Amino acid sequence: MLGAIAGDIAGSPYEFDPVTQKDFPLFGPSCRFTDDTVLTVAVAHAILKGKDYGECIGSFAIRYPNRGYGARFGRWVKAWDRQPYDSYGNGSAMRVSPVGFAFNTEKEVLKQAKKSSECTHNHPEGIKGAQAVAFAIYAARTGASKKDIKNEISGRFGYDLDRTLAKIRRRYKFDETCQGSVPEAIIAFLEADSIEDAIRNAILLRGDADTQACIVGGIAEAYFGALPKNLTDYVFPLLNAEFQGIVKAFCKKYCRRQKTARGPDVVTAVHLKSDHRNLIRCSKD
């Protein structure tokens, strides 16, 4: 799930300040983790501890405020009797990546993705967005080709994945709905040749940059394997001690070995760095 976190952090400066060229600085001084990371870690924590998704999501949001949460989600967090609010926003899809890594059958992945969504986003489109992303991660990490992933998601969820990024960019606007952002994020993955390329593709959509990059980062990590060291060395130190501990525990339990169609088993490693002297702000430099 570190790919999802990397995408969130890389996209954070560009959510309301879109880029127009693909060689933009991938990381910089204004990068930070947002609500996407907080709630992704919350879902991972729920899986690790066998806790209720809604309980963990609400608890983490309270302890980490002011990270860009939506207004309706903010009211849900503060409610004494939290009830789902029929949302089809992409919040359900942005936080679901741990589900795709943790569970080992299609049936369980789809079931758990639904559970992680419906505590807040119980609209059919909200659930579908979460399930599509989780399924893409599960399929990618178990060796499916891009063609198979595309066909399965199109067939199961009805998303139009035949469009190209070039055509999408001509008319695409900021869209926080699952149906208006998840298919585009998946296409950003389908056209990518690396994790970094996938994240750049998503940010260059000039839409909900941090969330779409978060979505595509999780899928790309599952497909291409371990996060490159230069990305890990930048992203990991930006997390606090609690988040680092959860990410390490989750990777140790669920992501240690990923079998993909791209080669032999890939060992997923978390590289710890205590300083930023050697961090790469833009790998294109």
What pLDDT, in 10s, does the model give residues 52-87?
999 999 999 999 999 999 999 999 999 999 999 999
> Is residue 285 included in any domain, yes or no?
no
What are the residues facing 89 on neighbouring strands? 177
Cβ(39)–Cβ(91) below 8 Å: yes
User: Tell me, what's the pLDDT at 15?
Assistant: 84
Q: 281 lies in a domain? A: no
Find, among 205, 202, 200, the residue nearest to 173 by Cα: 205
Q: What does the pLDDT read at residue 45?
A: 98
Mean pLDDT of the 100-119 span: 97
Per-residue pLDDT, 103: 97
Establish if 132 belongs to a structural domain: yes
Residue 262 confidence (pLDDT): 53
Percentage of the chain modeled with pLDDT above 70: 89
CATH number of the domain residue 147 falls in: 1.10.4080.10
Buried b (16+ CB within 10 A) or exposed e, 29-60: eebebbbbbbbbbbbbbbbbeeeebbebbbbb
Residue 243: beta bridge partners?
Answer: none
Residue 146 lies in a domain: yes
Full domain range(s) for residue 244:
2-267
Hey, which residues does 266 pair with through a beta bridge?
A: 258
pLDDT at 271 over 90: no
Q: Which two tokens stand for residue 112?
A: 């758990």
- Residue 284 belongs to a domain: no
Query: Does the residue 137 lie in any domain?
Result: yes
Is residue 284 scored above 70 in pLDDT? no
Residue 196 lies in a domain: yes
> What is the sign, positive or negative, of the torsion defined by CA atoms of 102, 107, 110, 111?
negative
Pairwise CA distance, residues 65 & 23, whole Å: 32
In angstroms, rounded to a whole number, what is the distance separating the alpha carbons of residues 220 and 218? 6
* pLDDT score at 40: 98
Between CA 159 and CA 133 the distance in angstroms is 12
Task: Provide the number of structural domains found in the chain.
Answer: 1
- Cα–Cα dist 141/5, whole Å: 17
Q: State residue 242's pLDDT score.
A: 97
Mean pLDDT of the residues in the chain: 89
Residue 182, in any domain of the structure: yes
